[in-house]
């Protein structure tokens, strides 16, 4: 069995005493791509923030790479190898692509940079360009490539597709999946393009109103999309 990288049991997270996510059990193993799906406001981002301890959990247990996630532990989690790419992509508009790589590469080698550029060759021609002048898709690639420079063991990406054409997501997701398999990295995605995400995932969980309403292999969900639709739209009725 592959190594367990994230383990959450009964995760409950909220804002100002109101729980936005309740009783979520989630496991992510090495080399696995897991996608969180759900309608707007279902609690996907809140779940991610609870998993990495940016938001405190009010009930349950959550460990990333053996470290209990809670506020104040972000630096320790990052050092241990947890990389979170927020929906604003976490890049610096005034820095060039190359400067992003150099910032990240203080802790990694030239070989690593070459490998990352092999996965995202489009960035090779853009090394001298400021991030502010990149297209949305190029910025997303840079956000991911920058994180990959540090050889993370867990990569968490919130809404990669925000503002991007599906074709861009279609190009990027398979690369991330390949790298997960190649390096044993665990990947947790929040994604709006459900079909594209499922095609590049091993498993998926659907959240509805802050609770897990469906969980299965990505291939099974792709094969019978009526279950997915029922989970998306049934979340309202189940309560
Ligand atoms: P989307 O796909 O629209 O980004 P999501 O599934 O990521 O949605 P969350 O952003 O996790 O959903 O929001 C879950 C619930 O928590 C929503 O009802 C939302 O209104 C609420 N919420 C999110 N952020 C805050 C906040 N800072 N303060 C109070 N409530 C919040």
DSSP one-letter string for 78-93 = HHHTEEEE-TTTT--T
pLDDT digit string, tens, across residues 151-192: 999 999 998 877 777 887 888 899 999 999 999 999 999 988
Domain span at residue 146 reads 4-231
When divided into structural domains, the chain yields a total of: 1
Tokens of 21: 């996510």
Task: Tell me which residues have their CB closer than 6 angstroms to ligand 1.
Answer: 15, 20, 38, 40-46
Q: Does residue 47 contact residue 11 with C-beta atoms inside 8 Å?
A: yes
Q: How many residues does the chain have?
A: 239
Is 236 a member of any domain? no
The answer, as to whether pTM is greater than 0.85, is yes
Is 213 a member of any domain? yes
Is 159 a member of any domain? yes
Closest-lying ligand 1 atom to the alpha carbon of residue 43: 11
CB atoms within 10 A of CB 203: 19
Q: Does residue 32 contact residue 200 with C-beta atoms inside 8 Å?
A: no
Is 219 a member of any domain? yes
Which run of H or E residues covers position 65? Answer: none
Query: Can you tell me the distance from the alpha carbon of 43 to that of 72, in angstroms, rounded to the nearest whole number?
Result: 22
Is 227 a member of any domain? yes
If one residue of 18, 36, 46 were mutated to test the ligand 1 pocket, choosing by the most ligand atoms within 8 A of its CB, it would be: 46
pLDDT digit string, tens, across residues 89-133: 778 999 999 998 888 766 667 888 888 998 888 899 999 999 999
- CATH number (domain holding residue 200): 3.40.50.300
Is 239 a member of any domain? no
In this prediction, residue 239 carries a pLDDT of 40
Residue with the nearest Cα to atom 2 of ligand 1?
40
Is 238 a member of any domain? no
Mapped onto helix, strand or coil, the DSSP state of residue 3 is: coil
Residue with the nearest Cα to atom 20 of ligand 1?
41
């Amino acid at each position: 069995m592959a190594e367990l990288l994230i383990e959450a049991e009964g995760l409950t997270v909220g804002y100002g005493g109101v729980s936005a996510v309740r009783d979520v059990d989630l496991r992510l193993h090495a080399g696995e791509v897991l996608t969180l799906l759900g309608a707007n406001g279902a609690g996907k981002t809140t779940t991610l923030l609870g998993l990495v301890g940016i938001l405190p959990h009010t009930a349950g247990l959550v460990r990333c790479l053996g470290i209990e996630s809670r506020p104040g532990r972000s630096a320790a989690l990052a050092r241990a190898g947890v990389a979170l790419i927020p929906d604003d992509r976490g890049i610096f508009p005034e820095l060039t692509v190359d400067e992003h790589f150099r910032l990240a590469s203080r802790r990694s080698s030239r070989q690593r940079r070459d490998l990352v550029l092999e996965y995202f060759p489009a960035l090779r021609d853009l090394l001298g360009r400021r991030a502010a002048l990149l297209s949305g898709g190029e910025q997303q690639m840079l956000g991911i490539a920058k994180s990959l420079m540090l050889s993370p063991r867990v990569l968490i990406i919130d809404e990669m597709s925000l503002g991007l054409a599906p074709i861009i997501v279609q190009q990027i997701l398979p690369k991330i999946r390949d790298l997960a398999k190649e390096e044993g990295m665990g990947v947790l995605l929040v994604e709006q393009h459900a079909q594209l995400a499922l095609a590049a995932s091993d498993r998926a969980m659907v959240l509805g109103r802050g609770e897990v309403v469906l969980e299965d292999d990505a291939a099974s969900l792709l094969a019978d999309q009526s279950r997915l639709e029922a989970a998306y739209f049934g979340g309202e009725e189940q309560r």
